[in-house]
Amino acid sequence: MSASKPLLSVEGLSKSYGGVHAVRGVSFSLFAGEILALIGPNGAGKSTCFNMLNGQTTPDAGLVHLLGRDVTGMRPREVWRLGVGRTFQITATFPTMTVRENIQVALSSHDRKLFNLTASMPSSALSEADRLLELVGMGGFAKRACGELAYGDLKRLELAVALANEPKLLLMDEPTAGMAPRERIELMRLTAQIAKEKSIGVLFTEHDMDVVFEHADRILVLNRGNLIAEGSPEDVRKNTEVRAIYLGEGLVYDARHREGAAP
């Protein structure tokens, strides 16, 4: 991608639970503006790997460097302060607040105003909050109760929240899980567009191979905790080991893009 220093670089990341090696010596880097997909069958260690990047899980060994800083073992909130936005596999929002207030909380945290006891939150950072909502196409939802939103809208709200601290890196854990096919495509197009415009690096895990091969610049493949392949969608598509792992699972992509690879 780029000759400059990577946004995120991971070296020898490992984690085991009891006797199970969930992640073993995984290393990779991610550059600004790049969209990197992390794929692998269930139990490959994707989520564990993911959670170690923003401090949700502490690795047993290995280093995570973000913008040249060692962030290994930092708490999620500290990693966030360095400019890492994150969305969750199962959406995590504040259901008793309005859509706009969800964003306003993130903005006030970004401005370090959390201990302010007297300002009026409902009227703070209005334009900034609405700009973010417009960005993800939710301008008309500002005053809606977050608890009433449809699931696809919640995913978009999460994206807006994740963008509130002007992140340099976005971590998206299965961003389209549980969404209708059309919503998936829209959400990922939107993400890719924002990432390119603002030169944000995006790392996402995904089960839907259509989404992965359409949007990822590069793909990492995990199996049983090991990184078994890394490269452009074309390279990964041709990789025999990857095919062997996925064949038994009826890889969607295989059926559709048969012309792209040897049988």
Choice between 121 and 251, CB closer to other proteins:
121
For residue 28, which phi and psi values (nearest 5 degrees)? -165, 170
- For residue 101, state whether it binds other proteins (rule: CB under 8 A): yes
Q: With 0-12 CB in 10 A as exposed, 13-18 as middle and 19+ as buried, what is 249?
A: exposed
Residue 120 interacts with other proteins (CB under 8 A)? yes
Residue count, binding to other proteins (CB under 8 A) = 42
Is 119 a binding residue for other proteins by CB under 8 A? The answer is yes
CA 148, 149, 150, 155 torsion: positive or negative?
negative
* In the complex, minimum distance from the CB of residue 37 to other proteins, in angstroms, rounded to a whole number: 21
H helices present in the chain, as ranges: 46-53, 76-81, 99-110, 126-135, 151-162, 181-198, 209-215, 233-238, 240-247, 252-256
Residue 97 is a binding residue for other proteins (CB under 8 A): yes
Residue type, 18: G
Residue number with CB closer to other proteins (88 or 190): 88
The CB-of-140 to other proteins minimum distance in angstroms stands at 16
Find the shortest distance in angstroms from Cβ 141 to other proteins: 13
Please identify which residue in 4, 42, 115, 262 interacts with other proteins, judged by CB under 8 A.
Answer: 115
- Minimum distance from residue 64 beta carbon to other proteins (Å): 16
For residues 195 and 187, give the distance between their C-alpha atoms in angstroms, rounded to a whole number.
12
Interaction pattern, residues 57-86, with other proteins; x per rule: CB under 8 A: ------------------xxx--xx----x
Q: Which of 20, 70, 90, 181 binds other proteins (CB under 8 A)?
A: 90
d(CA 72, CA 56): 11
Distance CA 43, CA 29 (A): 22
Interactions with other proteins, residue window 140-159 (CB under 8 A):
145-148
Residue choice 27, 58, 116, 193 for contact with other proteins (CB under 8 A): 116
Distances (CA, A) of 174 to 3, 22, 183, 235: 29, 18, 13, 22
Of 38-46, 115-123, 128-136, 193-201: span binding other proteins (CB under 8 A): 115-123
Please count the helices (runs of H) and the strands (runs of E) in the chain: 10, 10
Nearer to other proteins, 75 or 258 (CB): 75
Main-chain phi, psi angles of 85, to 5 degrees = -95, 150
Q: List interacting residues with other proteins (CB under 8 A).
A: 54, 75-77, 80-81, 86, 88, 90-98, 101, 104-106, 108-110, 113-122, 124, 145-148, 161, 164-165
